[in-house]
Structure 1
Amino acid sequence: MRTNNTASPFLLTGFPGMEKAHHWISIPLVMAYISILLGNGTLLFLIRDDYTLHEPMYYFLAMLAATDLGVTLVTMPTVLGVLWFNHREIARGPCFSQAYFIHTLSIVESGVLLAMAYDRFIAIRSPLRYTSILTNTRVVRIGMGVLTRAGLSIMPIIIRLHWFPYCRSHVLSHAFCLHQDVIKLACADITFNRLYPVVVVFAMVLLDFLIIFFSYILILKTVMGIASGEERAKALNTCVSHICCILVFYITVVGLTFIHRFGKHAPHVVHITMSYIYFLFPPFMNPIIYSIKTKQIQSGILRLFSLPCSKASL
């Protein structure tokens, strides 16, 4: 199948029927965008700068923060271009690249949450062997494995997008490119591109969740065997932040999937809003969760913001 090089670019969509309100709609999105950049950027700076945070748990947290930043930086520029300047055109190459990074980073986030569950599993089930099992080398290998798994799994469907002819409408459903949007415009056999993502979701995202779920069953079993109530509470408290991030991520995944599969008669604005929640809510919440529930992060933030104040007082 030959590539259709002469086709016009795709057209992104903001909030249909609400174009006059685009500038107002952009206000909460920009506020969330800035919060995500500041929150995740602060986490990355603290983990890099504070040697007391140079531990496997915080390395995985840094991976989560970097992934959240990546998703937001890939998605929001075209969103703001549509809402602020009505810049709707996007060429094939940039569109397919954006779709690749959006879907890849979503798989990466699931893999990082699984890695963080493994970290908590080792810390509670085998605390004396924690440092010998989760060495820096192994943490790097886990991170590279998560990234490679996601990147390779998404590549086949994105490569095929380059070879499809697009003879239908070139209008996409969102202000960013998604694989499921693009294939609807293709005039070709898209069976592989419809079935393969389902396999990826079941083989990776769902499997990650099941492994996380069973790991926490074993963690809970171990914690319940601890004689001291204070020690049990302390052990469980180290997992609270991770559990909250898991719930935030997978609830939004389920919500988006439910809307796409069973909300065909719902207004289009509902689908668009749910997509923004999926891409912005986890990156927005994760730094807040860890800032509230992790004392080391709290201390680092206090030191970070007290330093300029102390200099100013001098």
Structure 2
Amino acid sequence: MSASQDPSVAPQLLPVSGAELRRDPALHEAVRRVGQRVGVDFTDDERVRGELKRGREATSAIGVGGSCLAALLVIAAIVLPFAATVNPALAERRPILLGAAGMAAVLGIALMVRVVRKRQRAYRDPVLVAYREVLALARAHGLTLTHVPDWLVGSSSETEGKPSYPLPDIAPVSAAKGAPPAPSAPRSSGEVRLPRKPAEVAVWEQSVDKGGWHGEVGLLSAFAGAGAAMWASIEDEPVGYAGLGLGVAVAITLWVVGYRQGVRKKRGREAALRYLADVRAAQAAGASIPELSPQLGKLLSEQDGTDTLTG
């Protein structure tokens, strides 16, 4: 089965391949020096994939459960002092409630501090810090990064917030030398050809963030029709039944449109996954990959969230 048929067969897509890092002697030397500090050859794609998998496992293991428990303890610390007010029978036990609230507050804050420190240690892992520097160096030397994984820089594609651990700022090498800026377009890589993006994927990119309201509006239309029928029954106004028919007709129409849109999005997503598999295979073969669109980058993050942890 080919990579395009089964996306899980293709290797993990890297922000920049080792072949690209080795093409520029100055960049290769800078990357080599960074790698020496942490004992990692960042031009070895398989080694980098292994380190990224380890880093993602470490950052994703940061206590979601611990954060929830800390939040519950803080809530308990706020609620317990008012328990005697809600239930007068607990008035005699007010000192015990206050003591329990204080203990919950201390434990909750201590647990929050522990989670924050654990998060900082995971993101400040020397290898991850070095790899962020490698990506910054690649960008400074004019290379195009296919994507920067959200987990690597501590950001979320959902919130679009500022990364907590961004790539370091490194001045463009061409600007430092007074040369014209290097082109951002990827260079060809011998006989390795970049996969052409299918038109179905381009359509999916434009529509994936649109729609999603058909079900809700259709349900409201059905409720409106039911309300009209109820009014017709109570007030003995037959015209109200026309509202029922109209509401149901609008609801069915919207549901059909929404269903078809969902089917198109599903097919487009499947085509996008096959395209990403082709892109990953091309990078593994030595091709220079252009920057992914935000939609493809988000899909890649979702896919790597399962692939890299189980692969």
TM-score by length of structure 1 reads 0.28
Structure 1 or 2: larger helix share? 1
Taking structure 2 as the reference length, the TM-score comes to: 0.28
Mark the structure with the bigger radius of gyration. Answer: 2
